[in-house]
Amino acid sequence: MNPKQNLLWWQRGVIYQIYPRSFKDTTGNGVGDLQGVIEKLDYLNDGSPGLTTGGTEASLGVDAIWLSPIFPSPMADFGYDVADYCDVEPLFGDLATFDQLVAEAHRRGIKIIIDYVPNHSSDQHPWFIESRSSRDNPKRDWYIWRDPRPDGSPPNNWGSYFGGPAWTLDEATGQYYLHQFVKEQPELNWRNPEVRAAMMDVLRFWLERGVDGFRVDVVGLLIKDAELRDNPPNLDADPNLPPNDLAGRQLQVYNQDQDEVHEIIRAFRRLLDEYEDRCGIGEIWFELPRWVKYYGENDDGLHLPFNFRLLRQPWQAQAMRRSVDELEAALPAFAWPNYVLGSHDSPRLASRFGGQAQARLAAMMLLTLRGTPTLYYGDELGMENGVIPPEKIQDPQGVNLGAERTRDVCRTPMQWDEGPDAGFSAVEPWLPVSADYATRNVAVQSADPTSMLNLYRRLLWYRRRSPALYGGDYQPLDAGDADVFVYLRTAGDERRLIALNFTADHRRISVPGEDTGQIVISTHLDREERVSLSDLELRPHEGVIVEL
Ligand code: GLC
């Protein structure tokens, strides 16, 4: 064990993101719910020691689940438009079901992380209803209202990430309000102390209910330029952007990532620190130098600003290595790395990286790098982008910016078995089940010793028992072939070598200074053998973990 680390759960653990609408429907309305999550907890981690040697493990073995928003919502952005921060959406259950979920998860040693959406509420939130009711309503300043420009146009040029201007005119009061997503998501004014206090109370409400952490939605957007200046044009913008993609044609300079946001994040952190062992995660897409500031300067920021950098890399060993090495170099000593390869906002990783073979290699990379991995539901089956007929598109990004931008493709129902609707629901689900469900599902893959699911299980359980993997140092190696990403993970005497072949060819590597080692997991799940490290052959798309 690495003596320098006394690791916390969010450092050594693995997070699993659940998109509640799509996980498991127990009420027969085509939408997943909290009871469904409870029923499937054993799939995620049954809490038993489960440490069999090799072969299949009884459950996946994740340590925490992050639930995308579960709060009352008109669903203009599928829960990211919150109408009440302190309750549960009836489609998903109620507070009692939530409490039961927390208790059942904790009984199995699973932590619960919930989404916190502080940048904007729903336009149906009572705060906004009041705010828009008149210019002198006490809650007017809880949102961002401005007069039109003299010609009647919006107060500045900002575009919404979901298309069109980021401002909507409220005819009755003659002012515009700001929304950088759909117009049903008005942005709260975090420069107003009453808003801050009310939103801190929301965190307290859930902390008192026993949640272990928050994933803070678009946290970098909370504070905008005090003068709301126009954004400059993005001269490199893709000329083929849809005409209404105004945001894509601008550099996001004044609408986000203002230095004052860190003061708010420090306040979040102080609150979390009043409780034991809680974790703050943030959704932050900025480039490294700006991104890293979200850890704070003195371990007083977010524990884990989500790191999406790998997800944007091309499928090349050196691109991945560079991304990892730049991250490692940028982190302050106190900061713990993390990696995300899939989410409810991105194409499925199996589709993005080229197929199932690549997805297997990606799984090994994600689960063996230094830092906390976040898995996205269904990626453990190799779920691919769903095919959504145009008339079934639900996601506002797809509705407004074109079918190829719809995030519905990565939100299709979890594929449990070969029964109707993949065992997700007894009725037609809110999004179509993927066509491959009869062969790609939990039941079929559980029975197949070399399936993607069993690869994930093997990797997770191996990682859990390996201090080098969950807590050790990371060192990249040059092993004679730039298309193979090779690194060492070390904790005390325990040394593990990982070699990932990013090509569709056989490749040979030579690991300097090493003689032989024991392959314990191959992504193909078909070899465990002693090998020479001066001349190690990897098959197409093969990755291996080698005990040294
Ligand atoms: C975040 C969420 C995304 C949502 C947006 C607005 O990016 O991950 O799903 O649409 O914020 O809340």
398 alpha carbon – ligand 1 mean position (Å): 13
Please state whether beta strands 516-522 and 484-491 pair in parallel, antiparallel, or not at all (unpaired). Answer: unpaired
What are residue 22's phi and psi, to 5 degrees? -120, 10
Which among 25, 115, 217, 421 is annotated as catalytic? Answer: 217
Ligand 1 pocket residue status of 181, Cβ below 6 Å:
yes
Ligand 1 pocket residue status of 218, Cβ below 6 Å:
yes
498-501-502 Cα angle (round to 5)? 125
The DSSP letter of residue 302 is -
Write down the pLDDT at residue 48.
Answer: 76
User: Ligand 1, closest atom to CA 181?
Assistant: 6
Q: For residues 97-125, give the mean pLDDT.
A: 97
- Residue 51: pLDDT over 80: no
Write down the pLDDT at residue 47.
Answer: 86
* Helices 261-273, 193-208: inter-axial angle, 10-degree rounding: 30
Write down the pLDDT at residue 1.
Answer: 42
Percent of the chain at pLDDT above 70?
A: 97
- Residue 52: pLDDT over 50: no
344 alpha carbon – ligand 1 mean position (Å): 9
218 alpha carbon – ligand 1 mean position (Å): 7
Could you give the 3-state DSSP secondary structure of residue 271? helix
Write down the pLDDT at residue 6.
Answer: 85
110, 40 in Cβ contact below 8 A? no
From CA 67, how far away is CA 328, in angstroms rounded?
A: 28
The DSSP letter of residue 469 is H
Percent of the chain at pLDDT above 90?
A: 97
Strand locations in 336-461, DSSP E? 338-340, 372-376
Give 3-state DSSP helix, strand, coil % of the chain, rounded to 5. Answer: 30, 15, 50
192 alpha carbon – ligand 1 mean position (Å): 23
168-208 pLDDT, tens digit per residue, is: 999 999 999 999 999 999 999 999 999 999 999 999 999 99
Structure tokens at 342: 């899939």
From CA 302, how far away is CA 94, in angstroms rounded?
A: 29
512 alpha carbon – ligand 1 mean position (Å): 45
277-324 pLDDT, tens digit per residue, is: 999 999 999 999 999 999 999 999 999 999 999 999 999 999 999 999
228 alpha carbon – ligand 1 mean position (Å): 22
Ligand 1 pocket residue status of 283, Cβ below 6 Å:
yes
From CA 82, how far away is CA 74, in angstroms rounded?
A: 8
- Residue 54: pLDDT over 70: no
Torsion sign across C-alpha atoms 398, 404, 408, 411: negative
From CA 294, how far away is CA 262, in angstroms rounded?
A: 7
447-469 pLDDT, tens digit per residue, is: 999 999 999 999 999 999 999 99
**Dihedral Cα 184, 185, 191, 196, nearest 10 deg:** 110
- Residue 49: pLDDT over 80: no
Ligand 1 pocket residue status of 77, Cβ below 6 Å:
yes
Q: Which residue has tokens 């407004």?
A: 400
Ligand 1 pocket residue status of 257, Cβ below 6 Å:
no
Ligand 1 pocket residue status of 219, Cβ below 6 Å:
no
User: Ligand 1, closest atom to CA 81?
Assistant: 12
166 alpha carbon – ligand 1 mean position (Å): 15
Ligand 1 pocket residue status of 170, Cβ below 6 Å:
no
Could you give the 3-state DSSP secondary structure of residue 249? helix
Torsion sign across C-alpha atoms 364, 365, 370, 372: negative
Ligand 1 pocket residue status of 80, Cβ below 6 Å:
yes
pLDDT-derived band at 58, boundaries 50, 70, 90: confident
Ligand 1 pocket residue status of 177, Cβ below 6 Å:
no
**Residue 314: Cβ within 10 Å count:** 9
> Which residue blocks in 164-302 are alpha helix, DSSP H?
193-208, 261-273, 288-291
Q: For residues 428-437, give the mean pLDDT.
A: 97
Structure tokens at 258: 């203002």
The DSSP letter of residue 280 is E
Ligand 1 pocket residue status of 187, Cβ below 6 Å:
no
- Residue 56: pLDDT over 90: no
* Mutation test residue for ligand 1: of 17, 75, 81, 217, the one with most atoms within 8 Å of CB: 217
Ordered by where they begin, the domains of the chain are 12-118+197-224+279-463 (3.20.20.80), 119-189+225-257 (3.90.400.10), 472-547 (2.60.40.1180)
Please state whether beta strands 64-67 and 111-116 pair in parallel, antiparallel, or not at all (unpaired). Answer: parallel
Ligand 1 pocket residue status of 42, Cβ below 6 Å:
no
Write down the pLDDT at residue 53.
Answer: 36
From CA 332, how far away is CA 61, in angstroms rounded?
A: 30
Mean pLDDT, all residues of the chain? 96
**Residue 94: Cβ within 10 Å count:** 13
- Residue 19: pLDDT over 60: yes
What is the end-to-end Cα distance of the chain in Å, rounded?
15
Q: Which residue has tokens 């009692």?
A: 96
181 alpha carbon – ligand 1 mean position (Å): 8
User: Ligand 1, closest atom to CA 77?
Assistant: 10
494-538 pLDDT, tens digit per residue, is: 999 999 999 999 999 999 999 999 999 999 999 999 999 999 999
From CA 411, how far away is CA 4, in angstroms rounded?
A: 40
442 alpha carbon – ligand 1 mean position (Å): 28
Residue 274 annotated in active site: yes
Q: For residues 222-235, give the mean pLDDT.
A: 98
The DSSP letter of residue 230 is P
Residue 515 annotated in active site: no
From CA 274, how far away is CA 138, in angstroms rounded?
A: 31
Q: List the residue whose alpha carbon is closest to atom 3 of ligand 1.
A: 345
3-state SS record for 190-223: CCCHHHHHHHHHHHHHHHHCCCCEEEECCHHHCC
Q: Which of 404, 315, 319, 316 is nearest to 355 (CA)?
A: 315
User: Ligand 1, closest atom to CA 343?
Assistant: 8
**CA 488 to the chain's CA centroid:** 26
Could you give the 3-state DSSP secondary structure of residue 125? coil
Q: Which of 140, 145, 143 is nearest to 174 (CA)?
A: 145
Ligand 1 pocket residue status of 115, Cβ below 6 Å:
no
Q: Which residue has tokens 């790098």?
A: 369
Structure tokens at 464: 């859990």
User: Ligand 1, closest atom to CA 396?
Assistant: 10
Ligand 1 pocket residue status of 416, Cβ below 6 Å:
no
Q: List the residue whose alpha carbon is closest to atom 4 of ligand 1.
A: 80
- Residue 3: pLDDT over 50: no
Which among 208, 274, 276, 391 is annotated as catalytic? Answer: 274
User: Ligand 1, closest atom to CA 120?
Assistant: 12
Q: Which neighbouring-strand residues pair with 532?
A: 516
